[in-house]
Structure 1
Amino acid sequence: MSTFFQKQQQVAALDPRLGGLMASAGLYNLKALIKAIRSCKTLADERSLIQKESAAIRTAFKDEDPFARHNNIAKLLYIHMLGYPAHFGQIECLKLVATPRFTDKRLGYLGIMLLLDENTEVLTLVTNGLKNDMNHSNMYVVGLALCTFANIASEEMSRDLCNEIEKLMGSSNTYIRRKAAICAMRIVRKVPDLLDHFVDRTKQLLSDKNHGVLLCAVTLAIEICRADPEALEDYRKAVPLLVRHLKALVTTGYSPEHDVSGITDPFLQVKVLRLLRLLGKDHPQASESMNDILAQVATNTEASKNVGNSILYETVLTILEIEADNGLRVMAINILGKFLSNRDNNIRYVALNTLNKVVAMDTNAVQRHRNIILDCLRDGDISIRRRALELSYALINESNVRVLTRELLSFLEVADNEFKLSMTTQICLAAEKFAPNKRWHIDTVLRVLKLAGNYVREEILSAFIRLVCHTPELQAYTVQKLFSALHADFSQESLTLAAVWVIGEFGEVLIQGGNFEDEELVREVQAKDVVDLLSSVLDSPYITEHIRQFVLTAFAKLCTRFQHDAASQSRIEHIIGSFEQSVEVEIQQRSVEYYNLLQRRDIRDGVLESMPPPEIKQTVLGTVSEAKPVGSTRTDKDALLDLMGDEMPGSGGAAAAAGGMAPPTTQQSTQDLLADIFGASDDLGAATTTTTTAAAASQQPQQKPKSSVNDILGLFGDSGMGGGSSPAPSAASPAMSSNAGGAFGGLDLLGGGSGSGAAAAMPAAAATAATSPPPSSSPSVTSPIAPAAAAAAGGKSHVAYQQKGLKVTLTLTTNPARPDITNITARFSTTGMAAVRGVNFQAAVPKSQKLQMQAISNPDVVPGKTETQAMRVMAPQSAQIRLRLRIMFSVDGGEQNVADQVDWSQPSA
């Protein structure tokens, strides 16, 4: 570069006028520009150089120098390729195309293709130049025009030049025919109305001996057939011709001009196979004429290289699409089976994906490759595992349900979490549809619950409960199996729900024992063992509000099942009564109702008797959508009755189903969620809670009083709770009304004619509050969980957050019987006169600890009142409790959408 500039300075010294001209023109040529750009050390230097050169090119364009135009356009196109603006050269490209020199035309057309598109207004000026050059005597100039048309032609240009393209398709020059066919394809895509101009021309080109022309003609025919189904009949007459072309390609010897890895022109073979696939679909005559050649291609094509595999794959697709013979279809599926043993993951994926589409077409032929399909479940590529899993579901039938289910259960143990939900659903549906006997069906579902109980849908769990109810001969077997499984593992939510429900319903069968061959079964179970197990479930760190509801209902039923064990009955009543001050409104309501029901020995046996078997409803594959959220529920009355069997008000069994299925959560998914919320901290586990707004609570449907419960209206008359009367519904807080209907759904067991389960629970809540000391921190607490808050008031209180109008105080209490569990009550109050709205309180703990949270009593905190939210932390003894808190709220008349995060540690004693 230094030499170039020295020469430029020498010329300027000899002739100042010439030197100024060269300076205004910028760098001499494209080569000099490239060298100058490459020598720039920074992006700023490059940008400065490009700006100066662009200015020089603009100046040169104004001088209308025809000799410098070629050089300037070349430099401008290079600048455009670097990403800098070059639109000011569009007109100059048109001028360059108008020159007679071929090199200028070539560069001008290149500039047009780079700088213009079909939406550019300048494009209308190109049409006349293209039309002239298409009629040029030089075939290379014609080729330039055709190439440009194929790249930038708009709808208007296609209509204007359609006749020229059609005429050039009949040219005697193969070079021009090939390019004209490509232009015709552009016209067909842009203006389908003009495809009639090219149907006859295309059929003529299909007879061409030149491979390039033939390839373009077949591609154009495919495009026409896809755009106009009526054209299929015209091209079906050319099927024998296409078969001859394909046969010649397969049987011909070595052709250096067209050979690719030992195969003659694989690109043309693939295109011909695709056209035959379109022509043979739903047409037996055309399919019959191509059966032999397809068998020949499938037999003679070498599959050791990827070129051959591509042809075999197109052949398989063609065979499966047309009306082929059964033997030919089997051959195609066998080819896909060979693909499964290929080392290339792409080929195996293609084979699995194709088999998924054809398994319904010929299941028996696919069954022959079942073993290798199951081997793909252990592949390292997750995409292959997913496709193999989908194919395995489709292969299950009556004859192989045992084998395939066993393999799927083995894979379920090591499967990724994203597979488990669909796997549990499909395995249980297959067991329901193809089970050889009911015991095998029950064993299969039990195995699923043990392996992936947190990934089981509500429909599957309810279907399992119906199955147990309708199989009295296996109820003892099932309840003992569930007792044993629950004794070993509390972490699987669906397993816990199923076990608690069945144990509560068939508890008397469990303690009777049995004589079974299975060594895992517990043969002798005492009533004390059952109560101990369910009590342990209540103390489990995996307990949820939904499981706690099931356990309380199971306890109430077991109290009537264990008639001859007074000690167990007394213990059950004590456990149920211990939840009368629970911070969970639903649990508190159930506890009060059940405790008082158990005191009425004259009616409790009738209310809590065994429920009749629910109506059998076969689970249909279409009703279980894989897009459905995990653990999603229907909160209407029908969903509850579906699960519990349409129970009548007198049976009492519906209590175990209230609330629907809670969303199953795992420790891993919770940590992933809070990693996003709290900044992906490595040392934090997490638990989150969703709050229920007063507006959502107020939208709960009111239940109509039912005459069937009139005999129970005086159930609490002796307990001093106001008999059958209830306070006004307005006295109930939104949190209380958010679960109207309580444990008995739409049965209104304690409604007292008020029409609201929440209102019926208020006397109980008022009575327990009256017997508890008021909270020391706030005498005006009106939350329905005030009894629990008052009970926790004896613990140590610590201010965890006090900013922007909101104060959060944490009160810690520990049960001496369980020192590893700390109950924390978070109290929310205002520090000013403005109300705080939409409080969302979230917390996370270290991985060594476990956290459970309940919903806040009311997300809207008004001055003078205190709202509460309960938490439970399970930590190693003497370990310090650490919390990372995230608080989101808004203040009336003040700051909106506050989101703060604080770290809080338990002060040392």
Structure 2
Amino acid sequence: MFEKSLTTLIKGLRSHRGRDEATYISNRIQEIRTEVRSADMEIKAEAVLKLAYLRMLGYEVQSASFPVLETMASSQYHIKHIGYLAAALCFSEDTEVLILATNLIKKDLHSAQPLDVQAALNGLSHVINKELAQHLSEDIAMMLTHTKPRVRKRAVLVLYSAIVRYPEVLERTWERLRDLLCDSDQGVVTATVNVICELARRNPRPFVPLSPQLFEILTQTSNNWLLIKVVKLFGALARVEPRLVRKLQRPIAEIISTTPAMSVLYECIHTAIIGHMLEGAGSEDFAMRCIDNLGQFLSDTDQNLQYIALLALAKLAPTHPALVAQHEATILAAIRHPDRTIQVRALDLVCQLATNGSMRTILDTLLTYLEEPQGGASAGGASHALQSALDAHATVRTADAPQLPDADDQAGLRTQIAESILELGGADAYAHVPDVGWYFGLLQRLMVCVCPDVAQQVADQVIDLVHRFATLRPAACAALEQRWLHAADERLGRDTAEGEWLRAGAWVCGEYPEYITAPAQLARAVLQSRTAELRAPVLAVCIQSALKLCAHYAASLSPVWNAAQRSELEQLVDYLLAQLAPLVHHQDSDVHERAQESLQLLTILQQGLASELGAALPSDQLGAVDPVEEHSWDDRAAAESRTAPRALHLLEPLFFTRGDIQDDEQALPALPPSFDLHAWIVPEKAWDAILAHVEPAAKPRMRPVESTARAPSKGNRHKDPSRPKKSKKREQVPSTPHAAMEDGELNDIPIVQLSLSDLTPQNPAHGAPSASSDTPATVPTVQPKIVTRKKKARS
């Protein structure tokens, strides 16, 4: 039997690791199945122990549940201990044989041997389900008053599992649970506080009555672990009982000032934050003390302290931004920390601290981080980098040594920093940007060092920024124009970021061509030969921009029109037509549509210039009108109308309709701060008072048709008994059109009777008058007859 012990099994597994391991496990399981059926409890217990070890390795051993139950029922403690250990590893809440273990566990709980009780409690904490909790709740409650502190401590821990699965157990054991907070054994008190703390995480309200006992523990205990649990428990209770906040401020502040344990210090600060103890009057000093301690955590070399300090400061930033901003430099420096989690937390906290005054410093610092070279190459060159890599592999990394982030983490962090810059700058329509010119330059620097995923966002923000601020347009158009004019043909759109930047430049220059110094040259650059290789969204914007620049350039030639200008314009139109012709067959629908429209519009402009050639002055007389000379306005206008073709202004109205309206006039007027679009114009409370002064609308009355004789309707011969009788004396009927119509006047409405003979056309042959020539022969003329009903003679 000893040759097939657990030690032998472990040695065999190690010797067969990597080769026929599955076969070896299968053979051992067959042997174990034979051993568990043995009558010798020692052999059975050893087999159960080997099954428990195999279960730890991940193998299924559910078929051996009954042998485990047999070992649990042994009278020998070492066999019983093996049985409960195997049950804790192999059983689950839905194991079928658990129902058979109810009486067995009950018997062990009431055993005179404390070891048997402890073994039963240890196993029960792992296998307990709702049925066991319901049947064994009284037995567990009895163990709470056991004479042995070890039993009471284990019983409290089992009680937590029972309450989670069967909440009614809490009501039955409430008094004993409260008494355990005052137990003489420190371990029992710690276990009780731990159970209450875990239950309060689910619902803290039932445990508010335990505050006096917990407050006594808070002020008297010297056990740091117990103190942490009590402080954390008060943090949960303070959320549902605001009166605890004022009571806890003083003792927690004393613990923060006196404790040397960092764990207790942080837990007290965290409890003060989540318990709203740092808010309200008189809490400014307490908040300053907490934030100062968190600042010391940030400067510590321990990464764990730095991380939890960033978490706590992030919770304090909404309520105490000025105090947290005192550590802004340390937080910005934490973005360069090798630990990725610290970098992310520091970046989130920096975004919360950004204000109008600190926006420029924060964004410049973040952009400087992005502009640093990637890869970690130092100034020593390649040899120094290789030596550093060899030293890094040769050195054993300890738990305290920071690990350098890999390339994927570094790229992800750079993307997150770039997105944070765009989010901070564009918040509230750039309300926090101190200078839009500076921010435009920052976006130019950002475009160089961002990934393709963020490049589109940067380009969109450049377009939006120039569109919103008219003062930025001259400088932005000048910078973007030079970017296009100096773009080498072989480097055009070589990557996504460059293409997005060109898209932004094309859109801005095409939308505001009045700030462009060389529109014709820029139109050629926008539609150069390599432009067709750009991505479809960029290419579509370039086509539209080139057409706008051409339209503006053609209209600008009208005051100085001469032969040289005509030749230059015709060359520009011919160049654009040649570049657009291949793009008509582009696969992208947007590019195809814009190329086709631009091609047709430029063709119309070309034909317009050619058709007006004869109407213009001779070429030797073009330019005879000197705009510098002193002419009257009428003479100059007449001269320009004779020389400049009307086709020059053909395309400009299609894109630029602003005219003389200024940009400030185009913008919507700003609403006053006190104007609330969601508020009622008339408050709801005033509705009743308003409706009370409104008179109800009068019922309309009709004037009866006068007739000499009135008769009751034949259809109303049966009188309604509920109808009131009419007075014999006829009342005077009001003649107003809005008067109400009496019931008796319904008989006065004239009735139109139609005869079937009126619906047939009259035959002119029988002497009837023929229809007029204006009336069609197929439409009969019907003469309605008005019949008045005569009143019956009253007897």
Using structure 2 for the length normalisation, give the TM-score. Answer: 0.64
Distance 1:113 1:149 in 2: 8
CA contact (8 A) 1:453 1:495 kept: no
Counterpart in 2 of 1:403?
361
8 Å CA contact 2:200, 2:207 repeated in 1: yes
Residue 552 of structure 1 corresponds to 543
Aligned equivalent of 1:226, options 172, 178, 201: 201
Distance 1:267 1:54 in 2: 44
Counterpart of 2:400? Answer: none
1:534 aligns with 2:526: yes
What is the identity, as a one-letter code, of the residue corresponding to 2:552? R
Aligned to 1:495: 501
CA apart distance, 1:240 = 2.3
Structure 1 residue 311 and structure 2 residue 311: aligned?
no
In structure 1, C-alpha distance between the alignment counterparts of 2:274 and 2:213, rounded to whole Å? 19
Query: Distance in 2 between the 1:137 and 1:151 partners?
Result: 23
Which residue of 1 is the match for residue 656 of structure 2? 609
Question: Which has a greater percent of strand?
Answer: 1
> Sequence identity of aligned pairs in percent?
21
- Residue 359 of structure 1 deviates from its aligned partner by 1.5
The C-alpha deviation readout for 1:730-768, integer Å capped at 9, x for no partner, is: xxxxxxxxxxxxxxxxxxxxxxxxxxxxxxxxxxxxxxx
Per the TM alignment, residue 51 of structure 1 is displaced from its structure 2 partner at its CA by 5.0
- 1:426 counterpart letter in structure 2: E
CA distance in 2, matches of 1:155, 1:577: 82
1:364-392 per-position Cα deviation (integer Å, ceiling 9, x unaligned): 11101100111122222333222222221
Is 2:351 the counterpart of 1:393? yes
Assess if the C-alpha contact under 8 Å between 2:311 and 2:345 holds in 1. yes
Question: Any conservation in 2 of the 1:486–1:499 contact (CA below 8 Å)?
Answer: yes
Letter in 2 for 1:130: I
Task: Tell whether 2:72 aligns with 1:97.
Answer: yes
Cα deviation for residue 159 of structure 1 reads: 0.9
Determine the structure 2 residue equivalent to 1:328.
Answer: 286
1:140 to 115, 128, 133: 115
Q: Deviations over 1:791-819 (max 9, x none)?
A: xxxxxxxxxxxxxxxxxxxxxxxxxxxxx
The residue type equivalent to 2:268 in the other structure is T
* Alignment partners' CA distance in 2, 1:115 and 1:156: 18
Could you tell me which amino acid in structure 2 is paired with residue 158 of structure 1?
A
- The structure showing larger relative contact order (alpha-carbon pairs under 8 Å, at least 6 residues apart) is 1
**Counterpart of 1:369?**
327
Question: AA paired with 1:509?
Answer: Y
C-alpha spacing 1:196/1:326, structure 2 compared with 1 (3 Å): farther
Change (3 A) 1:378 1:227: closer
Distance 2:55 2:337 in 1: 47
Mapped contact 2:37–2:44 kept (Cα < 8 A): no
**What code does the residue aligned with 2:542 have?**
V
Kindly provide the amino acid, as one letter, of the partner of residue 194 in structure 1. Answer: V
Q: Is the 8 A contact 1:556 1:572 kept in 2?
A: no
| Partner residue of 1:238 out of 198, 203, 213 | 213
Among 259, 266, 288, the residue aligned to 2:224: 266
Q: Taking structure 1 as reference, are residues 495 and 54 closer, same or farther at Cα in structure 2, changes over 3 Å only?
A: closer
Is residue 2:428 matched to residue 1:423? no
8 Å contact from structure 2 (residues 527, 546) kept in 1:
no
CA shift at 1:358, angstroms? 2.8
Give 1:341-740 correspondences, 5 Å limit: 341-414=299-372, 416=411, 417-419=414-416, 422-430=419-427, 432-449=430-447, 451-452=449-450, 454-456=452-454, 464-487=462-485, 491-511=497-517, 526-527=518-519, 529-536=521-528, 539=530, 543-562=534-553, 563-564=556-557, 565-578=565-578, 579-582=580-583, 583-584=585-586, 585-599=592-606, 600=608, 601=647, 603-609=650-656, 611=658
Change in CA separation of 1:422 and 1:172 when aligned onto 2, cut-off 3 Å: same
TM-aligned CA deviation for residue 354 of structure 1: 3.2
Deviation at 1:437, TM superposition (A): 4.3
Q: Distance in 1 between matches of 2:530 and 2:151?
A: 84
Greater helix share, structure number = 2
User: 1:39 and 1:432 mapped to 2: Cα distance?
Assistant: 66
1:356: Cα distance to partner? 2.5
Q: How far apart are the structure 2 equivalents of 1:72 and 1:495?
A: 72
Q: Deviations over 1:389-421 (max 9, x none)?
A: 222111111221221122122233347353255
**Residue identity matched to 1:580:** A
- Work out the CA distance in 2 between the residues paired with 1:83 and 1:337: 46
> How far apart, CA to CA, are the structure 2 residues paired with 1:31 and 1:464?
71
User: Conserved in 2, the CA contact under 8 Å of 1:192 and 1:227?
Assistant: no
Unaligned runs of at least 5 residues, structure 2: 278-282, 373-409, 558-564, 587-591, 609-646, 671-795
Would the aligned equivalents of 2:105 and 2:120 in 1 still touch at CA under 8 Å?
yes
Aligned position for 2:721 = none
Task: Give 1:204's match in structure 2, choosing from 175, 179, 185.
Answer: 179
Q: Is the 8 A contact 1:531 1:568 kept in 2?
A: no
Asked whether the 8 Å contact 1:240–1:289 carries over to 2, the reply is no
Q: Distance in 1 between matches of 2:52 and 2:176?
A: 37
Cα deviation 1:128-179 (Å, max 9, x = unaligned): 1111111111212111111111111011111111111122112232111110
Are residues 141 and 398 of structure 1, via their aligned partners in 2, closer, same or farther at CA, if it must alter by over 3 Å? same
Q: How many equivalent pairs are there?
A: 556
Relative to structure 2, which stretch is displaced further, 566-575 or 77-86? Answer: 77-86
Q: Counterpart of 1:7? A: none
Q: Indicate the larger mover: 435-444 or 352-361.
A: 435-444
C-alpha contact 1:239 1:286 (8 A) present in aligned 2? no
Closer, same or farther in 2 for the Cα pair 1:107/1:315, shift >3 Å?
A: same
Q: Distance in 1 between matches of 2:451 and 2:8?
A: 69
Give the deviation of 1:95 after TM superposition: 2.1
1-structure distance, mates of 2:566, 2:292: 69
Q: Which letter does structure 1 place at the counterpart of 2:195?
A: L
Matched residues in 2 for 1:421 and 1:35: separation?
A: 54
Contact 2:218 2:231 in 1 (8 A): no
What residue number does 1:161 align with? 136
Question: Do the aligned partners of 1:298 and 1:315 also contact (CA within 8 Å) in 2?
Answer: yes
The one-letter code sitting in structure 1 at the alignment partner of 2:549 is L
1:405 and 1:45 map into 2 onto residues whose CA distance is: 61
Partner secondary structure for residue 182 of structure 2: coil
**How far 1:301 moved relative to its partner?**
3.0
Helix, strand or coil: the match of 1:342? coil
Q: Is 2:173 the partner of 1:175?
A: no
Aligned CA-pair RMSD: 3.2
Separation (CA, whole Å) in 2 of partners of 1:616 and 1:55: 85
Matched, 1:195 2:206: no
Q: Among residues 105, 126, 149, which one is paired with 1:151 in the alignment?
A: 126
Matches of 1:142 and 1:187 in 2, distance apart? 17
- In structure 2, how many angstroms separate the alpha carbons of the residues matched to 1:385 and 1:80? 41
More displaced stretch, 176-185 vs 208-217: 208-217
Structure 1 residues 570 and 353 mapped into 2: Cα distance closer, same or farther (>3 Å)? farther
- The 2-side partners of 1:122 and 1:220 are apart by 29
Counterpart Cα distance in 2 of 1:471 and 1:57: 82
Give me the whole-angstrom Cα distance separating, in 2, the residues matched to 1:554 and 1:541: 14
Cα-to-partner distance string for 1:626-647 (whole Å, 9 max, x where unaligned): xxxxxxxxxxxxxxxxxxxxxx
Residue matched to 1:278: 236
Q: 1:77 to 1:341 in 2, by over 3 A?
A: same
Q: What amino acid does structure 2 have at the position aligned with 1:322?
A: G
- Please give the alpha-carbon distance, in whole angstroms, between the structure 1 residues aligned to 2:485 and 2:669: 30
Q: Distance in 2 between matches of 1:130 and 1:533?
A: 88
Q: Is the 8 A contact 1:188 1:223 kept in 2?
A: no
Give, as a single letter, the amino acid of the residue that structure 2 aligns with 1:604.
L
Which digits, 9 at most, give the CA deviation of each residue in 1:533-576, with x for residues without a partner?
A: 4345x525972222222222222222233233445533431232
- Tell me if structure 2 keeps the 8 A contact 1:349–1:387: yes
Counterparts of 2:501 and 2:435, CA distance in 1: 22
